[in-house]
Structure formats: structure tokens, C-alpha cells
Amino acid sequence: MKKLSVVLVIGIMAASMAAAAYAKDEPAGKFEKIGIHMTLPEEMSEVKGVFDPEFYGAISDDPEIYYMGVAYFAMPQEKLEYYQNLPEEDFTEEVSEEISGLQTLICEIFAVQGDSGDFYKLLGMEENTEEIGLEELGKSDEFTFFCIPTDGAQYLTNADDSFIEEYQTVYDMTMNALRNAAFEDPSTSFAGKTAAFKSTDLDGREVSSDELFSANEITMVNYWATWCGPCLGELKELAEIHSRLQEKGCGIVGILQDTESAEEAKGILEENGTNYPVVLQSEDMEFTGDITALPASFFVDRDGNILSGPIYGAAVNEYERTVEMLLGSGSESGMTETEADAGN
């Protein structure tokens, strides 16, 4: 049993800004992915800032632990999307500093298989949880749900007073809804599913997952869109990574989310020297329904079995490391998203 680091704030906020918003679920629906059924007040739809709950999947498999971060951005949705889609060369240190003072967490949520004692051990703690403010929210059949509320207003150093006041209101509404929620076992697990589909490439030729994946021991699937700045920013490096992976009997396959932009995508890929197959998203790609942001990259074996949770954002330093880990493990079992990100 690995000791778990409970402070995931940096990773959550980095992922939020390095990945372009994609999922259109209602906020309450996003909580349902971790097994929480709650009612948010109507006032939540009127906030000026961005209330952003995101389910990040499994962070441990012994015991099973699922993680969710609930963020608040002190800016309108349009401004957040502008920042998320900035080309890499425009994402300067000044921009980064500005953004860092406009985002914060409301809380972190954990669904833990087993009882509270197991979770305390993972945290390296006894039952005294006052140090981090750990709060038990409730139980389902096999899971216990915990929350770590965050005093996040102090981090909104670049925000107007109106957003800081709104944050406190949103915080209170969120925590009240969580404390009155109903719970069920989480049912969303990305790793372990199968990516099986039929589609067409950008020239209209029919392709199948079988022919795309069977040639590689491990294939990295990169889910992207032409409107996604971080997606475009990593394309040149993906071409270089694909060349290196081919020497190991592995490779990359791209899936274009905005299928109506196929012609535009062809030009973009040519400009970036893309040397791996790219196909259009199709209706039978049910696995894409679990992806919450772009770019998202995950890994499959020759049969299309998904071996890892998605890596969100342009995490080019993690892709080859993840392939090496999967090759070393014989691809017999799926990795959690955190293991893929951390390279442990």
C-alpha cells in the first residue's frame, strides 16, 4: 500500500490551465461521476466566475481511490477559454503570474474503497484529521467519501473584490450541497475499457481500431481539436515522439474531436510534420465520453485495451516515460492516471 500525498492542488490547477475546456456536463453531473448525487442551488448558474468541478479518475488501486477537484476561476468563462487556448509561445511568465492569482480550489474530494482507517493510513495519519481539515461526507456500499475544504480566497491575489466575495458564496453553496448529498459507489473507470471503433481518416478512407492498434505493442492515443491551443502546441513534439516510439514497436494515433474541421486539420498537421495516423471521432468511440478536457492522451495494447487513465494537457515529458513503464510491466494491468502522470 503506497502512501498517498493529499496535497494535489498544484497538479489540479496546472491541468486546468494546460488543457482546454471540453466536457459540457452540468456541474452536478460532474459530481455524479465520482458517486455523489447532490443538488446545487439555482444561484450557482448565475455566478460571474467559473465554477469548475472536475473528476480526475483513480489515483490508487490498492485500495481504490477516486479523486475530484473543485476549482473556482475569478474570471468569466470566455476569458478562461482565452487563456486555455493561448499558443504556447504567448503563454509568457507574466501571463502565468496573472492567471495564478485568478484561480483557486473550493475543495478536494476522495472516494475511498473501505473504511476511514484505510485512508488515514494512506495519508500517513492517525484518526486525527484536524491538520488538513479532512471531513467525512458519507458512505456508499463499498466506499467512504471524504472532502478537504480549501480556504481559497487567499490565493485570489489578482481578482477583483466582487470575485473574492463570490468565491465565498460559491464555497458555502458547494459545501452545503456536499454535506447533504447521497452517495453510491463510483462507476467510472477509464483504464480497463476497450477502445474499439470504425472511423475514417482525414482523407475519408475507412479505418478500424484493429488495424491502427495491432501494429504496435503499445499505442498512445492523442485526442485533440483544431480549436485547442495546447493541442496544437504539442504537435511537433508528438511527431518526434512517434518516431522514437516506432523504434520500440510502439506509436501514436490521433483522434480529431472537431470532425467538421478535417480540412483545416490536414493543413495544421502538415505544417507540424505529423507522421502518425489521425482519424475522425466516430459515434462508436464511447470511451471519449469519459474525457473531460483536451488534449487527452491514453495508452492501449494491440487489442485496444485501455491501459491507463488519460493524461490531460500537453504533458510531452510524460508520454514516453509512460510507454516505458507499460512495456516494463508487460501491459498486464492498467495504470492509474496518477501513476502515468508521476512516472512512479
Same domain, 56 and 163: yes
Same domain, 23 and 170: yes
pLDDT at 290: 75
pLDDT at 330: 55
Check which CATH number belongs to the domain holding 299 and give it.
Answer: 3.40.30.10
Q: Is residue 203 part of a domain?
A: yes
Query: Global pTM?
Result: 0.61
Q: Is residue 3 part of a domain?
A: no
Q: Is residue 277 part of a domain?
A: yes
pLDDT of the chain along its 344 residues, tens only?
333 333 344 344 444 555 555 544 567 767 887 899 999 999 998 999 999 888 776 666 667 788 888 999 999 999 988 887 777 678 788 888 898 899 999 999 999 887 666 676 666 665 555 666 788 999 999 999 999 999 899 999 999 999 999 999 999 999 999 999 999 988 656 777 899 999 999 999 999 999 999 999 999 999 999 999 889 999 999 999 999 999 999 999 999 999 999 999 999 999 999 999 999 999 999 888 778 778 999 999 999 999 887 888 888 888 999 899 888 865 443 444 433 343 33
Same domain, 172 and 206: no
Same domain, 164 and 203: no
Same domain, 72 and 206: no
Domain that holds residue 121: 9-183
Specify the number of domains making up the chain: 2
The residue from 153, 183, 213 where one domain ends is: 183
Same domain, 63 and 212: no
Q: Is residue 337 part of a domain?
A: yes
Q: Is residue 123 part of a domain?
A: yes
The residue from 158, 183, 208 where one domain ends is: 183
Give, as one character, the DSSP assignment of residue 335: B
**What is the Cα–Cα distance from 27 to 45, expressed in whole angstroms?**
9
Q: Is residue 120 part of a domain?
A: yes
Q: For residue 106, report the phi and psi dihedrals to the nearest 5 degrees.
A: -95, -45
Q: Is residue 225 part of a domain?
A: yes
pLDDT at 133: 79
Query: How many other CB atoms are there within 10 angstroms of residue 304's CB atom?
Result: 20
Beta strands in the chain (DSSP E): 20-21, 36-37, 50-61, 64-73, 103-113, 135-139, 143-149, 182-183, 198-200, 206-208, 218-224, 251-256, 278-280, 293-294, 296-301, 311-312
The residue from 183, 207, 227 where one domain ends is: 183
Place of cell 491502427: 212
